[in-house]
Structure 1
């Protein structure tokens, strides 16, 4: 039987064009979303597989233009410290060596490595040779070298005593990993007698800062003049407050990083007074002696704390124990000695303590003064470095060991040696006990051995 036709008045439902198009769009959209999710999942899995097969780098240098080459170079030289990179650790020291004297830097590193097993990050402008570090007694496995980045224009006009804090700030901003307690410092005029982290770990959490000798206050010397210049009438709030020397701090990592960040911001903000030497220390004293939100700050006495600053201590008036360690009024060894250059006897003790292994008894050292023309004279200016030395031969040897040294002057009565850059002029003074020596090669290049000016 043929199908029955619909009667007139009954018609099949019709689908409109708009409804048909919207249905198509929904179907296609659902299909596209599903394909995208599948593609993302496949790409993520592919990245995991590739990452698992890649060797992991143990050194990170933040200079993007040279990081790859430096990573390879340091890895080959054994200068990387895996524990100090990209991991969590208890203690870490970060020290700025930009522009520092190489002998002072060597004393800093060697005394630090003898005092503590904690890692050290050294901020440098140029990568030193591995052989030079090893010859100076440095343990390369516990040292990480980090090349600093260029300074911004405002900071590039400051003195080296100020720029060190910006170099440290740069590193802290890109520092990998987490640290509980951190030490931040310059390397100039700082050595270690004991582990500073052993002391810091027993203190209340926060930022630990260390005062100058009792009686040395903020409102004296150039620090006060800078505070007045930078802060105007607010400077009166610091009147008679004890002075905090620059160059060293230790404490909880978060508090140190916050304080350094705020300190850099404060100096940058005070641009009108910020191009004078010592402005960082002026701002540090201002911030430390006033309420600083969010930071628990502790100040420690110079005579009874763990850190000694000898800058304003009367010459050679420190107290030592039987092993020549400088001790505080309570009889404990200071962990850190600052401004030891102000005390020649202390300087000599430190040098003797960190001398290289002694030569065998039958070894005859060459006459280091044979490389110099030495006579009674002085040579003002052109200073490279200075150091206490007991004999003229010791002074000659110090100049030979310093690649930039072309001459020296030595005082017998003061037992002190000044290393000189090439090109200085000699001066004769019959009443002086000064002796000066010029490398023979320098004398043949325009500085006559007998040329008394």
Structure 2
């Protein structure tokens, strides 16, 4: 057996542990430097992308502002311009005419259209014929008639004053498009002397509400009873707060709609409080409380631009040479509400518009044939009131209003009150009043409220 060969030694250098450690350190350092370089490169690329995005956004915003400027300088004169998102406009008014007669409706729209070119949505029930309003000299290209839905059972027990805002809220929920400044109001007892949107566009964004005459506070009448019943000791802070009358508000569309929606939710959540006047009572509660999500501004009655004449002493207001009601600084109020409380003002308003519409007193001679007419002063549920020269004008107005069953006419005031029949008829002798009750409603008559 041949002898085994001895193993041949390989010429391999031997690395000490110290050298091995240095090699590892160098390798790891190189890897770390490479990672840092890659990271810096990625961050630089990300910054470039962000910068490009900012430039693109700036261009889009600039284009949008340019478009807005163009639309402001060259307004679209088409009525209710439609876009993919619906109606788009700077100013719009929504007014409830539910229960109002055509005289009140006509006066409201006439004064509105004389004061402003802005669009108006009129909520009605029953539906009004556009031709009837057009024949009264109204520009129906700037008026949109919307028929309201029936009241739910929850609301049917409340007053007309309460339901006006409910109908408006109903419309706002399905209102298409966007409006910058929105005005909400009743139709009865409101007229315009100047453009309210011109004033509102110069104010701080938010909801603008308007107080009653100084000294008229929340803690009086049925409003205070409702607040005490519904809020208990929480209502104490309202005790001496100035009252906000119902029927008018204006401001940034988002704030107005949020306030109305919250108010409707508050009313719906407190069913035990459902008594006539609850909506205005809750509105006063919300107006004087810190209301989240709504920027709210309250304005004094003697400064304007909305004047409430409900509690102003008879004919004690100031007027200019053209019989416009002016504030303590001598400027015209844009909006008058509660003008019926002042005979002189009432007469001036009627005369200023009588040339714009045909006389409502030239009626068929037998208009009053269906009424029992006698000398009296008949209290009752006041549906509406308007200037009338003759008793026949009252008969015609009552005939035209499906809710009217009777009327009271004052020859000296030249004015007619339409009434709603209820439980029984009461007749109080009065030298200056004439009453008419529809023959079909004479047995039911009217409740003796004692207020005309």
Pairwise same-fold verdict (TM > 0.5)? yes
1:105–1:187 contact (8 Å) kept in structure 2: yes
| Shift of residue 137, structure 1, vs aligned partner | 2.2
| Shift of residue 418, structure 1, vs aligned partner | 3.9
1:84–1:144 contact (8 Å) kept in structure 2: no
Q: Secondary structure at the match of 1:121?
A: strand
List per-residue Cα deviations over 1:383-412 (Å, max 9, x = no partner).
6643344x5xx3423533552478755434
1:174 aligns with: 174
Matches within 5 A, 1:115-264: 115-264=115-264
In the alignment, the residues of structure 2 paired with residue 420 and residue 207 of structure 1 have an alpha-carbon distance, to the nearest angstrom, of: 35
The one of 393, 397, 410 equivalent to 1:397 is 393
In the alignment, the residues of structure 2 paired with residue 330 and residue 161 of structure 1 have an alpha-carbon distance, to the nearest angstrom, of: 32
2:299 aligns with: 300
2:155–2:163 contact (8 Å) kept in structure 1: yes
In the alignment, the residues of structure 2 paired with residue 177 and residue 412 of structure 1 have an alpha-carbon distance, to the nearest angstrom, of: 48
In the alignment, the residues of structure 2 paired with residue 145 and residue 375 of structure 1 have an alpha-carbon distance, to the nearest angstrom, of: 35
Q: Secondary structure at the match of 1:82?
A: coil
CA distance 1:427–1:245, change in 2 (3 Å): closer
| Shift of residue 263, structure 1, vs aligned partner | 0.5
2:103–2:386 contact (8 Å) kept in structure 1: no
Structure 2's unaligned 5+ residue stretches are 1-77, 443-452
| Shift of residue 125, structure 1, vs aligned partner | 2.1
Matches within 5 A, 1:3-82: 81-82=79-80
2:408–2:436 contact (8 Å) kept in structure 1: yes
The one of 372, 378, 381 equivalent to 1:380 is 378
1:137–1:356 contact (8 Å) kept in structure 2: no
My pick for the range that moved more, 142-151 or 230-239, is 142-151
In the alignment, the residues of structure 2 paired with residue 117 and residue 87 of structure 1 have an alpha-carbon distance, to the nearest angstrom, of: 16
Greater Rg over alpha carbons, structure: 2
RMSD of aligned Cα (Å) = 3.1
1:266 aligns with: 266
1:5 aligns with: none
1:97 aligns with: 97
CA distance 1:174–1:415, change in 2 (3 Å): closer
1:369–1:397 contact (8 Å) kept in structure 2: no
| Shift of residue 252, structure 1, vs aligned partner | 0.3
CA distance 1:82–1:433, change in 2 (3 Å): closer
CA distance 1:269–1:84, change in 2 (3 Å): farther
| Shift of residue 202, structure 1, vs aligned partner | 0.2
* TM-score, with structure 2 as normaliser: 0.71
| Shift of residue 134, structure 1, vs aligned partner | 1.1
In the alignment, the residues of structure 2 paired with residue 188 and residue 291 of structure 1 have an alpha-carbon distance, to the nearest angstrom, of: 30
Matches within 5 A, 1:412-427: 412-419=411-418
1:213–1:313 contact (8 Å) kept in structure 2: yes
1:200–1:251 contact (8 Å) kept in structure 2: yes
My pick for the range that moved more, 409-418 or 246-255, is 409-418
Number of residue pairs matched? 355
* TM-score, with structure 1 as normaliser: 0.70
Structure 1's unaligned 5+ residue stretches are 1-79, 360-364, 448-453
2:343–2:413 contact (8 Å) kept in structure 1: no
In the alignment, the residues of structure 2 paired with residue 97 and residue 446 of structure 1 have an alpha-carbon distance, to the nearest angstrom, of: 24
